Amino acid sequence: MADVPYSPLTRKRRTFSGSSQIWSGGDHLLLVVTNWWVQKYHRFRLREIQGITVARRPGFLPLQIVLLVVSALLLAAAMWATASTAGRVAWGVLSAPVIFAQIVDITRGPRARVILRTAVSEVRLPAISRLRAAREFLRQVEPAIRAAQSDIAPLTAPPAPGAFSLPPPAIPADRLPKAMLYTLLGSAFLGSAGSLFAIAKNLTGPLAAELWTIALLALASGIYAVVTVSKPLLRVLAVLLVAAILVDMGVTVWAWAAMISERRATLAMPPWFVRYAWVAHPAQMLVAAIGGALAWRDHRRASDKLKGRS
Amino acid sequence: MSARLPCGNCGVAIRPEYWNDPEGTMCDGCSEPVLAVAFPAWGHQTAVALPEGVAAEGESSCFHHPASRAVMACESCGRFLCALCDMDLDGRHLCPGCLERGVNDKAPGLDDRRVLYDSMALHLATWPMLMFYMIIFTAPAAVYLAIRHWNTPTSILPRTRARLWIALVLASLQMLAIASLVIFLIWFVPTFGSGGKK
């Protein structure tokens, strides 16, 4: 394999710590994983590849679109309410990356996970993370693999009994999907931006400064709990939490809109809401903390199971 | 390893009746769409040849297994090998010892990792510019890495020496800037000091 003329099969997928890419080397595929300054190589001879599976990852498109719309509305309101040009530029610089990242994430299509199987290994191909890229990859490599295996007679015997029984999942189902992680990070950012906005406008309402940070983080935790928690009681609790936070956010947005449209300097919350919030917010934070602790416990258990299995 | 094609999300095996179906199916485990492609090699195990015993006196035997008939000579060290010791690597026949030595010595086609000194030098020459005082230490280090590893084999993929050149130029400029700053301080600071006394 010396001096193999490699040609790229996929685009380079960059992560925080490096990148990964798949190259074609004539009679083999080369998976290159770069981690900081070390490049690792995995070679798969075309004759030895037994199968490839592509699985679409769970998506949260409706939630992403809602967040995108909320982000855009918040940005528009902030830009409109800020008098100075510098302030508007600051808002744009702060918000544009989040909005742009969400738009790019949505337009790139659903995520996917690709597994390549040989006689002795099952390897995930980290270089392919989108369904569109996975289909393109298959379109390119499938003819080459079939041509390389043209002299191998396919097995006609049915699979051995038990070969297709359902084994324990290799990957815990309750692990946080990446799309959700992005949404959580976006929520946290927007929460911080909202509180910054409140501080910048010198709003002295009872909850103005911290409301968005707490509400959005708690909302994200609540949605995570609704998605992942399987126990009915906890799920009901999480749904109540999400509903309570949505009430908070709805009332606050209404109050902000009223303040901006009437050109007032202070945020006027309905009195009932102030009383409600003093009770509801600690409860929301408590429930979110319990949800987080339970999620962490489940994650640890799943990790221990995987370690025990390997 | 059981013969199965697993879903990438949950690890549950995809039913064989849906293999090679261009439309795919829904996974039994996670209910997400999955696509499985099985190739003719599916289910074939790697053939393991068993050594044969030495049939007649005077027949060559394996270096590692004297009781087994030699079928091949190692292309690296020339030792006779039986079917068990013959390691077929992309058409080359090697003994286990030479194969291991090749992996350790990073022979072409056998290396499984490489250190990218050019990227390391470039990062040392660029990132610390954000905190300029760090370049006192990192610029010489970048120059050292670029010169020391100028001829070290880098990635097995197509790659030019552009990173090394850029690192060398940037780090040299940084060192020049440090030297200029030091000269400036030595030349002007006493002057300012004496000027104040006068």
Each residue's pLDDT tens digit, B52-101: 776 667 778 888 888 888 888 888 888 888 888 887 776 778 888 887 77
Of the listed ranges A215-224, B114-123, B127-136, the one predicted with least confidence: A215-224
Predicted local distance difference test score (pLDDT) of residue A194: 55
Chain mean pLDDT for chain B: 82
| Shared-domain flag, residues B76 and B122 | no
Residue B160 lies in a domain: yes
Q: By CA distance, what is A40's nearest residue in B? A: B113
Q: Does A144 touch chain B (CB under 8 A)?
A: no
Range of the domain at A264: 61-92+175-300
Predicted local distance difference test score (pLDDT) of residue A80: 73
| Shared-domain flag, residues A253 and A200 | yes
Q: How many CB pairs under 8 A join A and B?
A: 172
Q: Which of B69, B88, B112 is the last residue of a domain?
A: B112
Does A164 contact B117 at a Cβ distance shorter than 8 Å? no
Does A58 contact B9 at a Cβ distance shorter than 8 Å? yes
Does B8 contact A114 at a Cβ distance shorter than 8 Å? yes
How many distinct structural domains can be found in chain A? 2
Does B38 contact A145 at a Cβ distance shorter than 8 Å? no
How many distinct structural domains can be found in chain B? 3
| Shared-domain flag, residues B33 and B61 | no
Predicted local distance difference test score (pLDDT) of residue A112: 92
Q: By CA distance, what is B33's nearest residue in A? A: A56
Residue A1 lies in a domain: no
Per-residue pLDDT of chain A (310 residues; tens, 9 = 90+): 446 788 999 999 988 778 999 999 888 999 999 988 899 999 999 988 999 999 998 877 777 787 788 778 777 776 776 666 766 777 777 677 778 888 888 888 888 999 999 887 889 999 999 999 999 999 999 999 999 998 887 776 544 444 444 344 444 444 444 445 445 545 555 554 555 455 445 454 544 545 565 566 666 666 666 666 566 666 676 677 667 667 767 776 777 777 777 777 666 667 776 676 677 666 666 665 666 666 566 666 666 655 555 4
Range of the domain at B130: 117-187
Residue A285 lies in a domain: yes
What ipTM, to 2 d.p.?
0.75
| Shared-domain flag, residues B127 and B149 | yes
| Shared-domain flag, residues B76 and B103 | yes
Residues on chain A touching B17 (C-beta within 8 angstroms) = none
| Shared-domain flag, residues A81 and A194 | yes
Residue A305 lies in a domain: no
Residue B60 lies in a domain: yes
3-state secondary structure chain A: CCCCCCEECCCCEEECCEEEEEEECCCEEEEEEEECCEEEEEEEEHHHEEEEEEEECCCCHHHHHHHHHHHHHHHHHHHHHCCCHHHHHHHHHHHHHHHHHHHHHHHCCCEEEEEEEECCCEEECCCCCEHHHHHHHHHHHHHHHHHHCCCCCCCCCCCCCCCCCCCCCCCCCCCCCHHHHHHHHHHHHHHHHHHHHHHHCCCCCCCHHHHHHHHHHHHHHHHHHHHHCCCHHHHHHHHHHHHHHHHHHHHHHHHHHHHHHCCCCCCCCCHHHHHHHHHHHHHHHHHHHHHHHHHHHHHHHHHHHHHHHC
pLDDT band for B32, please (50, 70, 90 cuts).
Answer: confident
- The CATH number of whichever domain residue A14 belongs to comes to 2.30.29
| Shared-domain flag, residues A185 and A283 | yes
| Shared-domain flag, residues B67 and B97 | yes
Q: By CA distance, what is B113's nearest residue in A? A: A40
